[in-house]
Every structure is written in structure tokens, then in C-alpha cells.
Structure 1
Amino acid sequence: MKHTRKILCTVQAFLMLTTFSLAQNDGYQVGDEAMDFQLPTVSGSQASLSGLEDNRGAVVVFSCNTCPYVKAYEDRLIELHQTYAPKGYPIIAINSNDERISPGDSFEAMKKRAAEKQFPFAYAYDKSQEVIRTYGATRTPQVFLLEKESDRYMVRYIGAIDNNYQDAASVSERYLADALDALLSGEQVPRETTKAIGCSIKWTRNSR
């Protein structure tokens, strides 16, 4: 009886882990239409796709305050925004981590980090985790490059910013910049997906 109960518990745990894993991998694929959102930002405004003006798309980056991978990319994100926002592709950074699990990712901490780094882009808080669940991000940082078609935002690239988070000077493949340059030139994105390398999302325990 004890042996049978142990087997049942093991099977149940496996099924729960499998379901959790599948849920984590749900989300957008290249070619999908991205949903709009309304999220509070550290500046006191609301971040949304529909609120963007004179743009050709957007770069949605799932980010946070505490991940060392994100910190390694902050200066590069600032540079990317300064380069591509004037061309119609502003960055919207979104923090979806549960502050109860990661207190350093609270909204107040976001405000402090944004002020310290002088972020020129919108930095928004996805407290309900609705946006990240819909997009399907699993790491920070993880990029979703969106191209505007009429009033629709189509996913054109998903993945990493480049191929070397440790050293910007040693980057040999600029995934996001190359994708942006292709869209601006009216060409096909050369590499539509890459593996995002970074920290795991701090999910609200009852949300998954």
C-alpha cells in the first residue's frame, strides 16, 4: 500500500512539473499578433502599444532590477533605444517579477534603478503577470520585437539581445539590432528566434 501511494505521488509530481513546464512555454510565436497592454511606468505614465505615436513598431523587453544578466545589458538597452526609438522602434521594458519573492524587484525599487541608470525608455510594472503570461517570456532579459501593421503589432523576433552578455565589446552577433535593421530596410529578419539567456521569472505562486 505504501509502495503504491509512493508511486502515485511520484506520478502526480511529474504531471504537475510537466504542466508547469508547458505553461511556461506557452506564448507568442513569430508571426503572431501581440496584444496591447496598459501598465504603470516608473515615470507615472502608462505604457501601451496603442499609446505610441509616430512609431513603426516596438521592442518589448522583459526585464527586472536584480538579474545580473539584465544589469549587464542595461547600457546596451539604453544605446539601442537611443539609436532605434528615433527610427520608430522604442523600447518598453517590463518587470513582471513578484516582489514578494524578489523584494528587489518592487515598483519602488524599479523607480530607484531607473533614476540611477537614467533610463530613456519606458520601464513598466506587470504586477498581475498577465502580460508576461500572454507573451510567454521565460527569462530576463527576453526580447519581443514587434512590427506595426496598420493598428496591429506583429511579432518579428523573439529571444536574446546579442550573443555575449558578459562583454559588449566581444559581441559577434547582434540579434536584435540586425532584426531592427532588416525591418527598417524592408527585408526579412535574418534570424527570427534565439535562445534567451538570463534569470528565471519570479512567478506568483498561485498564478501558474
Structure 2
Amino acid sequence: MIKAFYLSCCTLFLSAATPNPEIALEIGAPIPKAELTWQDISGKEISLNAAKGKNGLLVIFAGNHCPYMHRNQDRIKQISQVASKNGIGVIMINSNEATRNEGESLAAMKEYAATMQYHGYYIVDKNSALADAFDANHTPECFLFDKTGKLVYKGAIDDSPGNAETVKVRLLQNAINETLAGKAVNVATSNSLGCNIRRRL
């Protein structure tokens, strides 16, 4: 009995001492770490709030060498242009800290953005702090915030990340259309399929 009581106390203590894991960002949540600044490929420092447009913000977690990024390159470029034209700011985030000195360096990010003819913000997520705050785990993975800065959609660009020719539902495009129309997003979450974000261990 005494032994069981001792083990229970130890378990309770260890549970209380263990930090909580990252909590998934839920629909309706505000933009995480909105006022902190991050280095853009232009060399300037930019915050998510500063990148936000009058009608919202589209955040895309990205990588330079992920096959899924390459398969979605045209889709990312297209949806970014649609968002920008409709007053939604667009920012891509590179959180691959474990390979920062290899293919995910700032120089490599600049080269990738030029290759895909992307003209928006593309920032370095130091220590994967933004990926942790968003609970983002894949590239590409998208988060759409409305004009008030509240999360209205998170997940994939569409229902066929691996093959653009078999797309049936344009999830992110639908979410943008519904948000701009002042409607609730019908499908607010979806599973993102892509490369794992390479956090530093």
C-alpha cells in the first residue's frame, strides 16, 4: 500500500513537471507570434502582422527541396496571386532548421523563390519557433486568417497534393472565396500531405 502510494505521488510529480506539448492551433485562434519579426529573403525584418493585408493573411510553411513543394509550385504561385489581388497578405515560412546550413539556407531560399518566380515574403523561422507555435509539421502546409486575424482554414491547398491533374476540391481557394464573401468556411480543416519540417533536435 505504501509502495503504491509512493509510485502514485512520483507519477503525479513527474506529470506536473513535464511541460505541455505544443497545442494544435484551432480554428478561431489569433495569428501566433504576430508582432515578432523574422528575416525575409530581401534582408528586411518582417512580422506576420505587417505581412497581413486588409482582408487577411495566408501563411504557407515551405521548403526548397521538398518534392511536394515542387509538385505544388504552380498551385502555390497561383493561389498567392489570387490572395494578393484580393487584399490577403501572403508569407511563406521556412522552418527547416536541421538543414539550415545545407539546402535550406537564406541563399538557397532566395534562389528557390527566384526559380518559382515568387515575389512575396519568404522568411527564415529561427529555431522553428513559428512552426512550433502553429503546430505545423509539413511542407506545404497552409493557414488562412481573416481580416480580423482569426484562423479560418488550415491544411492542404487541395485534395490531391501529389498530383495536380487529379484535383477535385480546391480547399484553400474555397476557403478564400468564402472568407472574402463574409461566410463561414465550410471545410475549415484538412490533412496536409508533404515533407516533414526538419526541426533541429
**Is the shorter-chain TM-score for this pair beyond 0.5, marking a shared fold?**
yes
SS in 2 for 1:93: strand
Query: Counterparts of 1:52-131 in structure 2 under 5 Å?
Result: 52=51, 54-100=53-99, 103-131=102-130
State the AA in 2 paired with 1:200: N
SS in 1 for 2:126: coil
**CA deviation vs aligned residue, 1:35-87 (integer Å, no higher than 9, x gap):** 20311111222332321465211110111101111111121111111112121
State the AA in 1 paired with 2:61: F
Report the RMSD for the aligned CA atoms in angstroms: 2.2
State the AA in 1 paired with 2:184: Q
Query: Is the Cα contact below 8 Å between 1:78 and 1:121 reproduced in 2?
Result: no
Query: Counterparts of 1:23-38 in structure 2 under 5 Å?
Result: 23=21, 26-35=23-32, 36=34, 37-38=36-37
Number of residues of Structure 1 aligned to a counterpart in Structure 2: 183
Q: What TM-score do the two structures reach when normalised by structure 1? A: 0.81
Structure 1 residue 148 displacement after superposition? 2.3
Separation (CA, whole Å) in 1 of partners of 2:192 and 2:99: 25
Q: Name which of 169, 173, 176 aligns with 1:180.
A: 176
Query: Is the Cα contact below 8 Å between 2:51 and 2:91 reproduced in 1?
Result: no
Structure 2 CA distance for partners of 1:54 and 1:136, relative to 1, 3 Å: closer
Q: What TM-score do the two structures reach when normalised by structure 2? A: 0.83
Structure 1 residue 99 displacement after superposition? 4.5
Structure 2 CA distance for partners of 1:100 and 1:64, relative to 1, 3 Å: closer
SS in 2 for 1:178: helix
Separation (CA, whole Å) in 2 of partners of 1:53 and 1:33: 12
1:39 to 2:35 alignment: no
- After superposing the two structures, state which structure 1 stretch, 50-59 or 156-165, moved more: 50-59
- After superposing the two structures, state which structure 1 stretch, 188-197 or 161-170, moved more: 161-170
Could you tell me which runs of 5 or more consecutive residues in structure 2 were left unpaired when the two chains were aligned.
1-17
Query: Is the Cα contact below 8 Å between 2:58 and 2:83 reproduced in 1?
Result: no
Query: Is the Cα contact below 8 Å between 2:95 and 2:128 reproduced in 1?
Result: yes
Structure 1 residue 101 displacement after superposition? 7.0
Q: Name which of 172, 178, 189 aligns with 2:185.
A: 189
Structure 1 residue 164 displacement after superposition? 1.1
SS in 1 for 2:92: strand
Could you tell me which runs of 5 or more consecutive residues in structure 1 were left unpaired when the two chains were aligned.
1-18
Query: Is the Cα contact below 8 Å between 1:146 and 1:156 reproduced in 2?
Result: yes
Structure 1 residue 169 displacement after superposition? 3.3
Structure 2 CA distance for partners of 1:139 and 1:54, relative to 1, 3 Å: closer
State the AA in 1 paired with 2:29: D
State the AA in 1 paired with 2:37: Q
State the AA in 1 paired with 2:31: A
